[in-house]
Structure 1
């Protein structure tokens, strides 16, 4: 009987080793047509999801290639983003991932939004990037240092140690999974903005003004974003929105209008506060 069962299973497979169900699926497609992609067309909702995952992330999983043998190695790292939206990491030269990035600049960064239930039902994004070391003493380094400390104030204890340095991860693309059946392949233009030094400086001034004189408005904005308590401050600002922080909590808020247009950041913040009051 065992031989008959084995022969029966063999009859269910063709010379290519495919099951009959696979053959039926292939036969149902027009000749020469490739299998249908599971990827969705990138839209504004996907771009927003990407920003809402990456921009407020305080930690992420970093994948590098181990210098000794090329094996993939993954570690947890603190993360921020620069004004344009490129991820920024701060690492010790004693770490494996720092040595790996000196050997091979290619890396991946995984940022995810945790939640209850099945972990795979929640959004996550993998950034494929080349790591660029940030030279100390430059204006770019000063801006990145300030943005990083605004998210990780405890890092001020070691941010100026000589064996630590920043890497800017320049994206080459990204894989976004917004949950089951919501897969997208993103280009850098889908989640990285153009650099704009003047707009960045204006954003810093707007942040400092809001934190100094309008913390009640910041709390109102936080409440609109779902926060249950007060005591929030604005940590980092970009062209699309900003991050608010309260201890270890961080949330992303998007502007309703472009601060690069008429009215600038003042108009953008006033609109959010007015929307919360109504």
Structure 2
């Protein structure tokens, strides 16, 4: 068997990060409560925080929520492989970390921005928000291409994550209020998505998340941005690229 050529660690981190930041659902594996401690997989939705940490909305009636109350260590599998003719050739990443409740209004806002339909039940008494703190990543970039990575290698610097988190509301509001044409250009030209009326819903140091009719699109940046000024420069450069035809 001919093995694929070696891939740099930076590229591997970028692949893992792209899967996590571009995803909305995955398989959460918890330890089933009880004497035998069976592994238990659940299909869940999530929204990545600005540093890529998955944010969840769980019901206290769900088995995985009760499992986490006993053992917060869990894994989340995110993939773009299952629809391929040969899923083994598709990319996927497993995040290992601990999942705990969060009362952060910002976590709530980011989750509902990615999953607006969840607003119908997010306020129910038996629902709550949770966040995973990633420790390790296992990336499978395709057939015979697997690598363990510390989660920190795929995350932005803490300073960049903090700066963008603080500026996010202003960036999103400004783009929607003053640059609706740019958002449509991003979607239509750079991402190949149809229609007008695209809106920005969230951003992070590595990209901008768009949505239209509850369907998401992800605009990845060429490099990490470290603050609001760098974000503005990146968005201006990208709209120039879109106006030039991509």
What is the TM-score when the length of structure 1 is the normalising length?
0.79
In terms of Rg, which structure is larger? 1
Maintained 8 Å contact 2:116/2:214: no
Aligned: 1:234 with 2:200: yes
* 1:98-113 equivalences in 2 (<5 Å): 98-113=65-80
* 1:77-92 equivalences in 2 (<5 Å): 77-92=44-59
Aligned: 1:150 with 2:113: yes
Alpha carbons of structure 1 residues 261 and 75: separation in structure 2 relative to 1, 3 Å: closer
3-state DSSP class of the match of 1:55?
helix
Q: Shift in Å at residue 229 of structure 1?
A: 3.2
Q: Shift in Å at residue 256 of structure 1?
A: 3.5
Aligned: 1:255 with 2:221: yes
Counterpart selection for 2:144 from 152, 162, 181 = 181
Looking at structure 1, the residues matched to 16 and 73 of structure 2 have their Cα atoms a distance apart, in angstroms, of: 21
3-state DSSP class of the match of 1:166?
strand
Looking at structure 1, the residues matched to 128 and 227 of structure 2 have their Cα atoms a distance apart, in angstroms, of: 35
Give 1 or 2: higher strand fraction.
Answer: 2
Residues 18-74 of structure 1 show CA distances to partners (whole Å, capped at 9, x for unaligned) of xxxxxxxxxxxxxxxxxxx99966522222211221112111110000011300000
3-state DSSP class of the match of 1:219?
helix
Residues 137-186 of structure 1 show CA distances to partners (whole Å, capped at 9, x for unaligned) of xxxx1000000010111111111222111111111101111111321211
Residues 230-251 of structure 1 show CA distances to partners (whole Å, capped at 9, x for unaligned) of 3322121011112222234322
Q: Shift in Å at residue 226 of structure 1?
A: 2.4
* 1:191-206 equivalences in 2 (<5 Å): 191-195=154-158, 196-206=161-171
Tell me the equivalent position of 1:56. 22
3-state DSSP class of the match of 1:199?
helix
Alpha carbons of structure 1 residues 186 and 268: separation in structure 2 relative to 1, 3 Å: same
Maintained 8 Å contact 1:39/1:184: no
Query: Relative to structure 2, which stretch is displaced further, 55-64 or 228-237?
Result: 228-237
3-state DSSP class of the match of 2:44?
strand
Q: May I ask how many residue pairs the two structures share in their alignment?
A: 237
Looking at structure 2, the residues matched to 168 and 198 of structure 1 have their Cα atoms a distance apart, in angstroms, of: 20
Looking at structure 1, the residues matched to 243 and 33 of structure 2 have their Cα atoms a distance apart, in angstroms, of: 55
Maintained 8 Å contact 1:39/1:182: no
Tell me the equivalent position of 1:96. 63
Counterpart selection for 1:165 from 117, 124, 128 = 128
Aligned: 1:127 with 2:127: no
* 1:10-29 equivalences in 2 (<5 Å): none
Residues 189-210 of structure 1 show CA distances to partners (whole Å, capped at 9, x for unaligned) of 1222344444312122111111
Root-mean-square deviation (Å): 2.2
Maintained 8 Å contact 1:79/1:87: yes
**Structure 1: tracts of 5 or more residues without a match:** 1-36
